[in-house]
């Protein structure tokens, strides 16, 4: 029977592994208040958390990760059970540092664990991608309605179209428009407070406040917004507790004439939540974004190529616009690969034969089936000969990290999932890990031919199997 001290030592090593892989706010949210309780005779490691929401969330997203880390620490396969334990450890006990025996801790990379600070208030526009402005949003038939509605809201927040509900398929510009509102308002009405979050961040924030017993602070924060922008609202599906919080905030803001803009991958009626909630969405304006037509795709491509400093022969953009999928993110991904190819081969100008060669794997026969992260992972595992548990697990050797980053990059390019969702598919990693992988692979592919080749090959098989 392991002693309490031993159990605590094991758990603190597990947390070090997890901390190393998640960013600070996520770690703080989900792990700081966990406490090891016991190891049962039949090999279950029991962990206590402070409330049921945290329990469900950890179980959902992190139980695999935790088992893997436990196995790494103890060398035996233990199952994990999360239980609600109101006396769960105070943060001090867990963050006091490795005071265990030297032998226990010498392998921990404790110096790498980031200081546990909370997210400070960010400077007004740093919460927005500089590229997502109205100026850089190419207007076409498919998106002008949503774009004009968004601009109207930005010009007179809270006056028109409240709430504005933007919906549409993957990579069609929903996030771009929401953030464009944010840019516009912060620039033109500097005294107005704009909050942009994904519904996942909203959820995290709520849970944090619950745990810290600072729900009032949470309410205050969101209710002080003049413009509240919430992205990927479909993620609130079947999460009743959060839905209620969300609608309380929503009602309060609406009552006071504050602007609310939401984006979703589907119309309100297809979001699985109570009807009284759904009907609230319909009160303002619903604006959909359709897939862009050829002219719009061409205009977007031209602008993107320019922004990337990619010089092309005349017929190249027409060709890409013709064969591209409607997903603009994917189209931009193709241009990024063309740029990488040019760097690798020292070509100042992209010509048609070369471009054909580069994009043929990205847009094979037009396939409309959505690609899943599972397919991407499976093909990456096959190409690099790594197991699934390693790909999504916690090992950090280059032989595993690299395939993992490649799979994350492709998940970003080929699926519509948000960064947090992709992180979740890779063993519950944080969205910043996915962002890092994306930047890393984009850089590598213009430095090493092999990397671009592997991406091409993988894209090809993934598309064929989808
Ligand atoms: P969604 O949120 O609908 O999945 P995003 O807003 O993330 O899509 O857009 C995907 C990519 O396509 C982004 O890089 C965005 O800047 C670009 N994009 C989408 N629509 C346009 C447009 N009309 N003009 C220029 N770029 C666009
Ligand atoms: Mg989006």
| Residue 269 three-state SS | helix
Go through the chain and tell me how many residues it has.
466
Confidence of residue 420 (pLDDT cuts 50, 70, 90): confident
- Give, as one character, the DSSP assignment of residue 156: S
Cα angle 318-322-325, degrees, rounded to a multiple of 5: 130
Phi, psi of 134, deg, nearest 5: -65, -35
Compute, in angstroms, the gap from residue 42 CA to the centroid of ligand 2: 44
- Nearest residue by C-alpha to atom 18 in ligand 1: 173
Would the pLDDT of 6 be above 90?
no
For a mutational test of ligand 1's pocket, the pick from 130, 167, 329, i.e. the residue with the most ligand atoms closer than 8 A to its C-beta, is 329
What residue has token string 């090999």? 43
**Residue 457: Cβ within 10 Å count:** 13
Ligand nearest to the CA of 336: 1
Contacts (Cβ under 8 Å, ≥6 apart) of 305: 311, 312, 317, 335
pLDDT at residue 41, as a whole number: 80
Q: How far is the CA of 418 from the centre of ligand 2 (A)?
A: 7
Structure tokens at 334: 């193709």
Biggest CA pair distance of the chain = 74
pLDDT one-digit tens code per residue, 220-249: 999 999 999 999 999 898 888 899 999 999
Identify the helix (H) or strand (E) that includes residue 286.
Answer: strand 285-289
Counting from 1 in the atom list of ligand 1, the atom nearest the Cα of 131 is 16
For 262, the enclosing helix (H) or strand (E) is strand 259-264
Distance between CA atoms of 24 and 19, rounded to whole angstroms?
7
CA 419–ligand 1 middle distance (angstroms): 15
pLDDT higher than threshold 50 for residue 30 = yes
Nearest CA to ligand 1 atom 9: 173
Ligand 1 centroid distance, CA of 305 (Å)? 14
| DSSP string for 377-417 | HHHHHHHHT--HHHHSSS---HHHHHHHHHHHHHHHHHS--
Residue 124: other Cβ atoms inside 10 A: 16
Binning pLDDT at 50, 70 and 90, where does residue 101 land?
very low
In angstroms, the CA 116 to CA 429 distance is 17
Whole-number Å distance, alpha carbon 208 to ligand 2 midpoint, is 24
Ligand 1 centroid to 137 CA: how many Å?
8
Average pLDDT, the chain: 85
Nearest to residue 81, comparing CAs of 32, 26, 43, 31?
43
Closest atom of ligand 1 to CA, residue 177:
6
Pocket of ligand 1 (CB under 6 A): 131-132, 136-138, 143, 168, 170-176, 300, 328-329, 332, 416
Structure tokens at 70: 């436990």
The tokens of 244 are what?
A: 């209620």
Task: Indicate which ligand has the atom closest to the C-alpha of 231.
Answer: 2
Give tens-digit pLDDT for 150-195: 999 999 999 989 999 999 998 999 999 999 999 999 999 999 999 9
pLDDT at residue 423 greater than cutoff 90: yes
Share of the chain above pLDDT 90, in %: 53
| Both structure tokens of 252 | 């309060």
Indicate which atom in ligand 1 lies nearest the CA of residue 136: 25
* Contact of 220 with 189, CB cutoff 8 Å: no
Contact at 8 Å (CB) between 412 and 336?
Answer: no
Judge if the upstream peptide bond of residue 163 is cis by omega within 30 degrees of 0.
yes
Q: Average pLDDT of 15-30?
A: 73
User: What is the predicted pLDDT for the residue at 77?
Assistant: 81
* Number of H-type helices and E-type strands within the chain: 21, 10
Please tell me which residue, 384 or 98, carries the higher pLDDT value: 384
CA dihedral 362, 363, 366, 369 (to 10 degrees): 20
Residues 6+ apart with CB under 8 A from 205: 197, 218, 221
Nearest CA, atom 6, ligand 1: 173
Which atom of ligand 1 lies at the shortest distance from residue 296's CA? 23
Confidence at residue 26, expressed as pLDDT on a 0 to 100 scale: 64
Q: Tell me the per-residue pLDDT of 331-382, one tens digit each, with 9 for 90 and over.
A: 999 999 999 999 999 999 999 999 998 888 888 665 567 889 999 999 999 9
Give the pLDDT score at 98.
Answer: 34
CA of 129 to the centre of ligand 2 (A): 12
Phi, psi of 260 (to 5 degrees): -130, 130
Number of other residues whose CB lies within 10 A of the CB of residue 93: 12
Q: Which residue, chain included where needed, has tokens 């079947």?
A: 238
N- to C-terminal Cα separation, the chain: 49
Atom of ligand 1 nearest to the CA of 303: 25
Atom of ligand 1 nearest to the CA of 265: 3
Task: Determine the distance separating the centroid of ligand 1 and the alpha carbon of 290, expressed in angstroms.
Answer: 12
Query: What is the value of pTM for the model shown?
Result: 0.67
CB hemisphere CA count around 445 (13 angstroms): 26
Q: Of the residues 200, 297, 328, which should be mutated to test ligand 1's pocket, given the most ligand atoms within 8 Å of the CB?
A: 328
């Amino acid at each position: 029977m392991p002693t309490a001290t031993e159990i605590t030592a094991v758990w603190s090593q597990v947390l070090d592994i997890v901390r190393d892989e998640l960013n600070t706010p996520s770690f703080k949210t989900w792990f700081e208040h966990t406490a090891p309780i016991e190891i049962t005779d039949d090999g279950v490691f029991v962990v206590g958390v402070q409330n049921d929401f945290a329990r469900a969330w950890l179980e959902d997203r992190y139980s695999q990760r935790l088992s893997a880390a436990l196995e790494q620490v103890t060398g035996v396969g233990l199952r994990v059970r999360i239980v609600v334990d109101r006396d769960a450890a105070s943060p001090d006990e867990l963050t006091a540092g490795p005071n265990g025996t030297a032998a226990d801790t010498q392998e921990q990379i404790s110096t790498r664990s980031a200081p546990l600070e909370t997210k400070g208030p960010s400077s007004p526009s740093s919460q927005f991608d500089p590229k997502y402005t109205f100026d850089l949003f190419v207007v076409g038939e498919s998106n002008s309605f949503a774009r004009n509605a968004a601009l109207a809201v930005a010009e007179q927040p809270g006056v028109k179209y409240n709430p504005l509900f933007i919906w549409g398929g993957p990579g069609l510009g929903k996030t771009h428009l929401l953030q464009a509102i944010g840019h516009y308002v912060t620039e033109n009405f500097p005294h107005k407070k704009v909050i942009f979050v994904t519904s996942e961040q909203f959820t995290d924030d709520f849970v944090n406040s619950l745990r810290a017993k600072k729900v009032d602070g949470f309410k205050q924060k969101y209710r002080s917004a003049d413009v509240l922008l919430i992205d990927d609202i479909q993620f609130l599906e079947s999460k009743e507790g959060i839905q209620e919080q969300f609608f309380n905030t929503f009602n309060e803001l609406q009552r006071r004439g504050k602007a609310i803009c939401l984006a979703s991958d589907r119309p309100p009626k297809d979001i699985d939540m109570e009807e009284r909630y759904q009907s609230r969405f319909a009160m303002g304006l619903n604006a959909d974004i359709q897939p862009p037509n050829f002219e719009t795709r061409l205009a977007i491509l031209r602008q993107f190529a320019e922004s990337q400093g990619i010089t092309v022969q005349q017929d190249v953009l027409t060709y890409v616009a013709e064969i591209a999928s409607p997903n603009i993110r994917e189209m931009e991904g193709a241009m990024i690969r063309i740029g990488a190819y040019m760097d690798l081969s020292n070509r100042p100008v992209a010509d048609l034969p070369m471009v054909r060669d580069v994009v043929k794997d990205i847009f094979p026969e037009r396939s409309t089936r959505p690609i899943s992260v599972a397919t991407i992972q499976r093909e990456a595992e096959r190409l690099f000969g790594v197991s699934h548990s390693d790909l999504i697990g916690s090992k950090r050797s280059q032989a595993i990290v690299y395939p993992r980053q490649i799979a994350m990059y492709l998940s970003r390019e080929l699926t519509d999932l948000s960064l947090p969702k992709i992180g979740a598919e890779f063993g519950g990693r944080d969205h910043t890990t996915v962002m890092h992988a994306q930047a890393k692979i984009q850089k590598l592919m213009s430095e090493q031919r092999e990397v671009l080749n592997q991406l091409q090959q993988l894209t090809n098989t993934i598309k064929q199997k989808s």
